[in-house]
Structure 1
């Protein structure tokens, strides 16, 4: 099992965004020291939910502060940027990190970002496949040319280049079909439970072409909340007290670009869901929850959102305790000593 931290650079009330970013960098360093395999960073714009608009920039700084930790984006949003520019930046980070970088990409949402960055709602509605294919061509061949609806330009050679294989955030059947057809692993979000994740893995396997990997060995990644305390009751209580103050204003930052209604979310119910289905609890509970998810979904790569408590010292403690008390249980198969499940 491969386990990393998932950092959104959470903007809890009263915290300066610049300080949050500096603390996020320190959490990446702490994750390596704690024994995690990876650190993945999210991209957000114009909101307090996450105050990192450029995960590649943050990870470049992290590459200079770490030595073995895998570094990834979860995710870089394709609907608001040029895929060739992203390919260039990703190739730089690949080389500067010694090959430790994984590019996670996603379609994003119908948010005001599309207006600000000039790509428009059309890129979101129907441009994802074209954008992704340009990115993949740049990685595969080191060259790029635009001949589609959204990109038209003469052939260019990428300098530097890197043969990267992106991970694709998947929340809908069309995106799963796109990822499966191209043999790209999925990144599955925190908003769904094990049964839903298993269904998406099964759907991917059914759509995967020859050599696509199917459900076994496909390299899918699952995001989850990870929070450890002396008891499960204490961990749940802590997150239920802290997370709504972050999520209420944070999720309100998702402003639609075209006036379409934004689906309301019951924050208290969402936090209750997160604490029930994810590794939130005692060390034994956290380990057994992750092992159960691996067994039921076939996924053995996880990234844990560790910032739920909000208070910086407690978040740092959480990273260290997860490393010291949960990761060893995972590596020996859980509190009961049962064998760790694998995906082939």
Structure 2
């Protein structure tokens, strides 16, 4: 089993100031040193991962808010490619509707060259769900599904055809080419993944041959039915079953008390940051085409009353925390249920101090990582199996 670390540079402490400024209130200007300090600290942790035995480094794409300060994941991974020698890299995800698809194809081609022989870029794609990100990038959120469908086709054409044409509603190309040509286009395409937020979106990436990437937002059992739909869509398009890759937050403590204390503080902070970034307790999804699931989720959170606590409790139930033995056992159970290809783990999130994150990573790397890497890979769960799991 492969195990990767995910870079998730958050400035959680800035959320109150940021939202007040967004509402038009008079607030102090941001001290940019806070962003810079977090960047330096998390880059140091990421560059240590190779020597600690991790298989890969992953990162995400977000704009505008303190949620995740990584606006260009491929740019960050290009730096990682040059600063390391063994480790693979991945995105979770590149949000295709936010980019010109030909530029995406160019960027991941260059990343493949920068990694060199023997190292793999795993490119996850998604369609985005944060209103403020679409708005400040000057894009219509309700067009995201159509833009995604066209963009993934353009990316694949640019990688596989020296010259191609494409005529869609959002993108038009006539006899265009891309240089440099990818060293191994099939390696790139075979390692394309898709992450979805709403269950109805699962087949969108599957029918283009993308593999599943799970970022758990619902109870684990819910994902069996979604993976079943994903498998059906892949099969209908002529693709073989594929193992998922699974993202989780992790806190590993020397004692149960230490692990629980830190997990109950920092994992709900991560969940709260996600709630605020996506405005999950807002009613704006109800009027946005293609986001019906989010509208229902928002209505449910509104009925709960305390959306922040509800999301924090859900993330505590889904993600991995405990002593080393407890972390190994939880990850073995998830592996047995889903037979994943890889886990991608966030080790620092919320307002977690650097020294706490360093202890978390060091203990996990020493006592959990080898045990999880020793979990044997199994054949993918078929969609029929998934429905009965």
| Residue deviations 1:174-213 (CA, integer Å, cap 9, x gap) | 4322332222101111213331233222222233227512
Aligned-partner Cα distance in 2 for 1:252–1:104: 23
CA deviation after TM superposition for structure 1 residue 259, in Å:
4.8
2:291 counterpart residue number:
none
Q: More deviation in 21-30 or 321-330? A: 21-30
Asked whether the equivalents of residues 6 and 347 of structure 2 are also in contact (C-alpha less than 8 Å), the reply is: yes
Offset at 1:85? 0.6
Greater CA deviation, 222-231 or 13-22?
Answer: 13-22
Q: Which has the higher helix share?
A: 2
2:135 is aligned, of 107, 111, 115, to 115
Q: Distance in 2 between matches of 1:299 and 1:241?
A: 28
- Alignment correspondent of 2:266: 242
User: Distance between the aligned counterparts of 2:167 and 2:357, measured in 1?
Assistant: 47
Please name the residue that 1:322 is paired with.
364
Question: Which residue in 2 is equivalent to 1:209?
Answer: 235
Give unpaired runs (5+ residues) of structure 1: 334-339
Aligned runs of 1:243-262 on 2, under 5 Å?
243-245=267-269, 247-248=271-272, 251-254=275-278, 259-260=284-285
- In structure 1, what is the equivalent of residue 340 of structure 2? 299
Q: Which residue of 1 aligns with 2:226?
A: 200
1:327 and 1:245 map into 2 onto residues whose CA distance is 25
The answer to whether the Cα contact below 8 Å between 1:299 and 1:343 also exists between their aligned partners in 2 is no
**Range with greater deviation from structure 2 (36-45 or 188-197):** 188-197
For the structure 1 residues 114 and 101, does the alpha-carbon distance in structure 2 shift closer, same or farther, using more than 3 Å as the test? same
Indicate yes or no: 2:378 matched with 1:342: yes
Work out whether 1:158 is the aligned partner of 2:171: no
Looking at structure 1, the residues matched to 155 and 314 of structure 2 have their Cα atoms a distance apart, in angstroms, of 35
Does the 8 Å contact 1:48/1:250 carry over to 2?
Answer: no
Unmatched segments (≥5 aa) in structure 2: 15-32, 287-294, 381-389
In 1: Cα distance, 2:341 partner to 2:273 partner: 33
Structure 1 position 178 matched with structure 2 position 204: yes
**Offset of residue 255 of structure 1:** 5.8
Say if 2:133 is the partner of 1:133. no
**Where does residue 26 of structure 2 map in the other structure?**
none
- Number of the residue aligned with 1:336: none
The ranges of structure 1 where at least 4 consecutive aligned residues each deviate by more than 6 angstroms after the TM superposition are none
Q: Which runs of structure 2 are paired with 1:265-276 in the superposition (5 Å)?
A: 266-276=307-317
Counterpart pick for 2:44 among 10, 15, 26: 26
Instruction: State the 1:56 CA deviation.
Output: 1.4
Q: Kindly tell me: are residues 41 and 142 of structure 1, through their superposed partners in 2, closer, same or farther at Cα, counting changes over 3 Å?
A: farther
Q: CA RMSD in A?
A: 2.6
Report if the CA contact (8 A) 1:195-1:296 is conserved. Answer: no
State the TM-score, normalizing by the size of structure 1. 0.88
Partner of 1:209, secondary structure, is helix
Over 3 Å counting, the alpha-carbon distance change for 1:159 and 1:243 in structure 2 is same
Which is higher, the Rg of structure 1 or of structure 2?
2
Q: Is the 8 A contact 2:194 2:213 kept in 1?
A: yes
Pair 136,236 (structure 1): closer, same or farther in 2 beyond 3 Å: farther
> Do the aligned partners of residues 31 and 297 (structure 1) sit closer, same or farther apart at CA in structure 2, a change above 3 Å counting?
same
1:7 maps to 7
- Contact in 1 for aligned 2:268/2:315 (Cα 8 Å): no
1:231 aligns with 2:233: no
Q: 2:278 and 2:206 mapped to 1: Cα distance?
A: 29
Helix, strand or coil for the counterpart of 1:9? coil
Kept in 2: contact 1:30–1:319 (CA 8 A): no
After superposition, the C-alpha distances for 1:249-279 in whole angstroms (9 at most, x for unaligned) are: 5642336999546735723332333233322
Q: Residues 194 and 296 of structure 1 are in contact (CA less than 8 Å); yes or no, is this contact kept in structure 2?
A: no
Q: How does 1:276-295 map to 2 (within 5 A)?
A: 276-295=317-336
> Alpha carbons of 1:332 and 1:38: their partners in 2 closer, same or farther (altered >3 Å)?
closer
SS of aligned partner of 1:170 = coil
Preserved contact between residue 111 and residue 121 of structure 2 (Cα < 8 Å): yes
